[in-house]
Amino acid sequence: MHVPYRHIRAGTTDSSLWISDSQRCNHFATWIFLSIFVRNIEEQVLINQFTSQANKHLMTKNFTLSAILASMVFANAAAAIDPASYTLSSDGKTLTKWLGSETEIDFATDETLMKVEAIGTYAFQDCSAITIINLNPGLTAIERGAFMDCTSLTTITLPATLTSIGNAAFSDCRTLRSIDFPSSVTTIGTSAFYGCESITNVTLHNTGVTQIADGTFNKCTSLSSVDLGDQITAIGEEAFLGCEAIETLIIPESVSMVGVSAFSECYALKNVTWGTGITEISNYAFAGTAIEAIDFTPLTRLSDIGVNAFQDCTALSSVILPQQEISFGAQAFFRCSALKEIVIPDDYSQVSSKAFYYTSGLEKVTLGKNVTLLKNSAFGSCASLKEIVWNDALETIEWNVFAYCTSLQEVELPESVTSIDDYAFTSCDNLSSVTLGSKITNIGQEAFSMLPKLTTVNVKAATPPALGSYAFYKSNVENCTLRVPQESVEAYKAADQWKDFGTIDGVAGITGITASADAPAITITGSTISINGLANGDHVAVHTIDGRAVAFLNATAPAFSIDVARGIYIVTAGDSTMKVAVR
């Protein structure tokens, strides 16, 4: 059994002067001998202080001898770490296991340990008595789990020769206060400092480390200062998760990727300087932080913001999106209750699925002029949304886009919208008025269901749009007024579900009969409707006056014709709609 090293002199803290209990007995006898020897010399000095010069010379020699003998004892003590306290590899270059119960260890004072080049896998694991370690020059590697669960370790000195620190090397060293990385370090492994809750600062500046591995500083709850240097290219998953004391972060220009949950639960983090080299902000990367404002415009390489990337950033009140179109993961700004307004830049063609889902404080959305598609649930459950600034290009609103936007009171869709998918406006509790443009052709299942305050629906389309099942389910349509083009009243009264409205009024000011100067030509010859001058992909539709589709396609040739029975038809070709009579 080994006990902690003892100090050779009372009160000393110099670990180079330590000897072990197993050595004390041998050294004690020598010490007594030297003490007696020196005392005899001192007495001899007093007796012979007035003697001849020759005797004085002898006295000097005796003093010199005692000093030499004493220094030999001290030197022997300084170098002596009991070999039984550790095991080495066969070549003596790797310390494979520490067996002793020492509290302070200095490799640099032991002739054998000075030759060690690596601390082996789990070599010091659970050595809970150790408080201070000084590693030797020449050491190059600290392997996986080497100091894991050394729960009393407060200080470790890393040599200038160290190049790699393995996975979980210092995991759960809860009292480790600081770590000074030498410039020689190039690799720090996964979870290397996981749970080191007393570390207050990390500086990687001037090291050779280029990637921060997954979980490296996860749960370092006292970490308040981080200097990533200018050579880091990637920050791994959960690298700084739960580092609750970080308030300010500078992401260097060299970083291209911020990993999943990299800074999640950094509850004090409010100021971030974004490196312009970032291309990806991964899922949950900054979830739960205290970030107050984000301006992404300098990030010209950014292409992806991941799922829940900024979830629960409840202090986030301003977001300026990058001007280039990017992909948003679902719920990127989930529960960001302070974010009041979003402007979608003009270069965007769509808003991604659930991009702003449950951004509970969002009150106003402005669509860029080129947005044609709102993907599913893009603004779903934005309970504070009151105002939408539409563009003239929007064509499709996918399912659940504005579902549960309970503060919406009025919706007037642009003329360009042709399709509204399932549940698009369901459960908008305060929505009372809806206006649909002249090009609308399809409204999905329960698109306007559960609207208890709905009183007015205006539809500018001459042909009643096709409705999915229960399009106005529980929206009290029997007490609503439906306003349609004057000439289409009978068609709406005959059309499935539209006919359920309590009042259907024809309004001269609402018209779906439009034609532009360069529109395709629509002609009637006998019972044939012909359309010429179509562009590839132009929408072509022919409906009876009661809303039954006769033709519905996208043009693949410049001309189209169809034979029909006698009657009144609504013909759509490209951007134009015309009512025609076949006699």
3-state SS record for 17-82? HEECHHHHHHHHHHHHHHHHHHHHHHHHHHHCCCCCHHHHHHHHHHHHHHHHHHHHHHHHHHHCCC
pLDDT score for 545:
65
Confidence at residue 456, expressed as pLDDT on a 0 to 100 scale: 96
Alpha-carbon distances of 216 from 38, 149, 202, rounded to whole Å: 57, 15, 11
pLDDT at 516: 58
CB 294 within 8 A of CB 317: no
- Mean pLDDT for the stretch of residues 242-252: 97
In whole angstroms, give the CA distance from residue 395 to residue 414: 9
How confident is the model over 290-307, as pLDDT tens digits?
A: 999 999 999 999 999 999
Written as six digits, the tokens of 259 are 């990993």
- pLDDT of 202 higher than 90: yes
Residues forming a β-bridge with 456: 433, 481
| Predicted pLDDT at 350 | 96
Distance of CA 227 to the CA centre of its chain: 19
Q: How do strand 521-525 and strand 528-532 relate by DSSP bridges?
A: antiparallel
- Each residue's pLDDT tens digit, 535-555: 888 888 887 766 677 887 888
Q: Select the highest-mean-pLDDT range: 56-65, 110-119, 509-518.
A: 110-119
What was the pLDDT predicted at 28? 43
* Tens of pLDDT, residues 426-444: 999 999 999 999 999 999 9
Reply yes or no on whether the pLDDT at 109 is more than 50. Answer: yes
Specify the residue for token string 């996208």: 554
Mean per-residue pLDDT, 479-494: 95
> Of 69 and 255, which is predicted with more confidence?
255
The DSSP secondary structure of 310-346, one letter per residue, reads TTT-TT--EEE--SS--EEPTTTTTT-TT--EEE--T
The predicted pLDDT at position 25 comes to 41
